């Protein structure tokens, strides 16, 4: 019997890859806090610049670099990749700014809401039907955002920004006819000239940190590439070997780590409004998870019935 996982099973290797990706993403605020004194735009430029060699090396090792070269010659595909590159840049910039400015808790909220926002996008833009549980989960998450907005007098912009940029990034990424590693490489390839030009400008005007600051800052900025590319590559390879329901549960690990880091390590305030809103989000995610498992069970049952019918 083949050891390759079927549609109804999880691969231990896939679980290991995905778990590593989510844990690394959960630990990222500790890294970003160490470079909080560096302007977020400069950090983002280094993330793009130093991600490219790693992504390119992986594609060369996989012998898939020709797919990216071919994609560069297709204007429509290039435009789609430029859009996803812009969205992921906006997501990175919001996230780096949030951690540096004491809004890691809001970042956790954004990534908790994201799966529910993706469900809503599927319903609105793709006409996907939602179960009652999913509709209630989305409504509960929306109510939590309303509570935070009314209490603070303004939208939780970090949470909303991260939700929108990542949600639409994932949506448009599905339309990109490239594998995950190839798509990521194309995105950072498009971002690299802009990032390089910006870093050169910072250097010539004496505003840059890299090469001018201390050795620790230089190494941390160089490390922005690996901490960006490696989790994404782990996730891309792990997701192919896992059931959707497994990924659906694992994705809560990162915002949970962000939440604990913000409250226990960074000392961010967990005020009354958040004490109400976060449990509402957690309840919404619990309902969403139940719905995922029900749908997965129904699909498995249908396949078994079809298989039994064919045997008869």
Cα 224 from Cα 51, distance rounded (Å): 8
Q: Are 109 and 208 in contact (CB under 8 A)?
A: no
Q: pLDDT value at position 7?
A: 43
Q: What is the mean pLDDT of residues 117-135?
A: 80
Backbone angles phi, psi at 214, to 5 degrees: -80, 170
Nearest by Cα to 40 from 169, 165, 205, 209: 209
Q: Are 25 and 231 in contact (CB under 8 A)?
A: yes
Q: Is the pLDDT of residue 14 over 90?
A: no
Q: What is the mean pLDDT of residues 7-34?
A: 85
Give the tokens for residue 117: 């926002």
Q: Are 64 and 149 in contact (CB under 8 A)?
A: no
Count of Cβ atoms closer than 10 Å to residue 295 Cβ:
15
Q: pLDDT value at position 1?
A: 36
Q: Is the pLDDT of residue 99 over 80?
A: yes
Count of Cβ atoms closer than 10 Å to residue 113 Cβ:
28
3-state secondary structure of 36: coil
Nearest by Cα to 183 from 30, 23, 12, 58: 58
Beta strands (DSSP E) in the chain are none
Q: Are 266 and 40 in contact (CB under 8 A)?
A: no
81-85: list long-range contacts, CB under 8 Å, 24+ apart: 81/176, 81/178, 81/183, 81/186, 81/187, 81/190, 82/190, 83/172, 84/169, 84/172, 84/173, 84/176, 84/183, 84/187, 85/186, 85/187, 85/188, 85/190, 85/191
Cα 103 from Cα 203, distance rounded (Å): 29
Q: What is the mean pLDDT of residues 129-140?
A: 82
DSSP state of 210: T
Q: Are 238 and 15 in contact (CB under 8 A)?
A: yes
The residue with greater pLDDT, 140 or 7, is 140
Cα 115 from Cα 117, distance rounded (Å): 5
Give the tokens for residue 60: 């060369």
pLDDT-derived band at 305, boundaries 50, 70, 90: low
Q: Is the pLDDT of residue 309 over 80?
A: no
The residue with greater pLDDT, 152 or 38, is 38
pLDDT-derived band at 241, boundaries 50, 70, 90: confident
Nearest by Cα to 59 from 49, 68, 72: 68
Count of Cβ atoms closer than 10 Å to residue 312 Cβ:
5
Backbone angles phi, psi at 262, to 5 degrees: -65, -45
């Amino acid at each position: 019997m083949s050891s390759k996982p079927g549609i109804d099973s999880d691969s231990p290797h896939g679980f290991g890859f995905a778990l590593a990706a989510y844990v690394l993403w959960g630990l990222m605020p500790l890294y970003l806090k160490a470079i909080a004194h560096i302007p977020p735009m400069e950090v983002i430029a280094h993330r793009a610049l130093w991600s490219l060699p790693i992504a390119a090396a992986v594609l060369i090792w996989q012998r898939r670099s020709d797919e990216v070269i071919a994609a560069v010659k297709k204007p429509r595909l290039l435009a789609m990749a430029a859009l996803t590159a812009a969205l992921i840049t906006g997501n990175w910039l919001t996230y780096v700014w949030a951690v540096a400015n004491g809004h890691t808790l809001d970042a956790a909220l954004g990534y908790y809401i994201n799966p529910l926002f993706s469900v809503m996008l599927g319903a609105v833009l793709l006409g996907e039907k939602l179960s009652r549980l999913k509709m209630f989960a989305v409504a509960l998450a929306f109510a939590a955002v309303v509570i935070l907005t009314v209490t603070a007098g303004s939208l939780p912009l970090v949470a909303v920004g991260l939700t929108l940029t990542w949600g639409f990034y994932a949506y448009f990424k599905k339309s990109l006819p490239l594998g995950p590693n190839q798509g990521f490489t194309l995105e950072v390839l498009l971002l690299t000239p802009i990032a390089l030009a910006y870093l050169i400008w910072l250097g010539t005007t004496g505003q840059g940190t890299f090469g001018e600051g201390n050795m620790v800052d230089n190494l941390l900025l160089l490390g922005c590439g690996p901490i960006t590319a490696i989790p994404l590559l782990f996730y891309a390879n792990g997701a192919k070997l896992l059931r959707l329901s497994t990924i659906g549960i694992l994705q809560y690990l990162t915002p949970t780590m962000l939440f604990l880091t913000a409250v226990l390590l960074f000392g961010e305030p967990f005020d009354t409004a958040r004490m109400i809103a976060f449990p509402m989000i957690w309840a919404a995610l619990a309902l969403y998870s139940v719905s995922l498992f029900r749908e997965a069970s129904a699909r498995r049952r249908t396949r078994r019935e079809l298989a039994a019918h064919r045997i008869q």
